[in-house]
Amino acid sequence: MAGSLVARARPARSSPRSGPRGRVRKTVEVALLAVLVVAMLFPVLWMLETSVKENRDVYAVPAKLVGFDLTLAHYRDVFVGPSGGASDLSVALLNSVVVAGASTILATVLGVPAAWAYSRFTLRAKKDQLFFILSTRFMPPVVVVIPIFLMYRTLGLIDSQLGLILIYTAFNVPFTIWMMKGFVDQVPSEYEDAAMLDGHTRFQAFRRITLPLLLPGIAATAVFALIFSWNEFVYAIFLTSSREVRTAPPAIAGLIGGTTVDWGLVAASACVFAVPVLVFAYLVRKHLVAGVTLGAVRR
């Protein structure tokens, strides 16, 4: 009783942020964060502005941040060619959707069961196998592009969507296995044991019990795999050459060159190119947040 009275009599300690120094420190932190946000978002805002400016405003000196005429002609040129048909950029964007989407689905279908097997079963030299799988991501793509080009030329996969899908899947599967193994480790194996006691096979227990619990991790992994396939440039430019197969990154890069560059078209293409990944991340945002934070607390 006396202890409680003494505790009540003690003055409450003030927070280090409640005094004058704390307010000054908080103001400085907010100001620094505001400067950092502006510095990070300024290129994006400049790209958005350039995409809706008239060409005379794009090349104006000094540059116009406000007070320019708005136009959507650059976005029209992204999808409509000079002759009225589909533009090269629209075909490249569609190719990117097909190649990135197919490689992401294949990497997920192959990587999730493999990660579950590495997590649940005792395999000979499992750590060495996992290290070998991870080692395939050590080298940058440009190091192995020449051997892959020679191999693809022998197999007849040069300038084909199938070739890009296979190489992107090959690079995404190791990443998917390592990411998903951490998520599978967080799901107690006792859930599957209980399901098997109820008469389910091991695969049925995985499909009905474990797999639904892995949806947040699958969503997070799929977003990162999609970003790699969507943004990949080296293989896309070395392994493809025709308009019918080339993806968006080399197609947009091809707009820059020569004596005159249509920066409005380049900016509009970049904005359109960023939309699909943003839409996909928005659709899986609930699973994405849960997947990124899954595993932060150990059982």
- The pLDDT > 70 percentage for the chain reads 89
For the cut 80, the answer to whether the pLDDT of residue 1 exceeds it is: no
- The pLDDT > 90 percentage for the chain reads 32
Q: How far is CA 125 from CA 136, 203, 297, in A?
A: 17, 23, 28
What pLDDT is attached to residue 32?
93
Q: In this predicted structure, which of 24-28, 163-167, 268-272 has the lowest mean pLDDT? A: 24-28
CB burial of 127-154 (b: ≥16 within 10 Å; e: otherwise) equals eeebeebeeeeeeebeebbeebbeebee
All domains of the chain in start order, with CATH: 14-79 (no CATH), 88-293 (1.10.3720.10)
Indicate the pTM of the whole model. Answer: 0.81
What pLDDT is attached to residue 136?
80
| pLDDT tens digits along 92-105 | 999 999 999 999 99
> DSSP of 184-247, one letter per residue?
HHTS-THHHHHHHHTT--HHHHIIIIIHHHTHHHHHHHHHHHHHHHHH--HHHHHH--STTT--
What pLDDT is attached to residue 4?
52
In contact, 294 and 221? CB cutoff 8 Å:
no
Average the pLDDT over 233-254 and give the result.
91
Output the average pLDDT for the chain.
85
In contact, 181 and 119? CB cutoff 8 Å:
yes
In contact, 69 and 52? CB cutoff 8 Å:
no
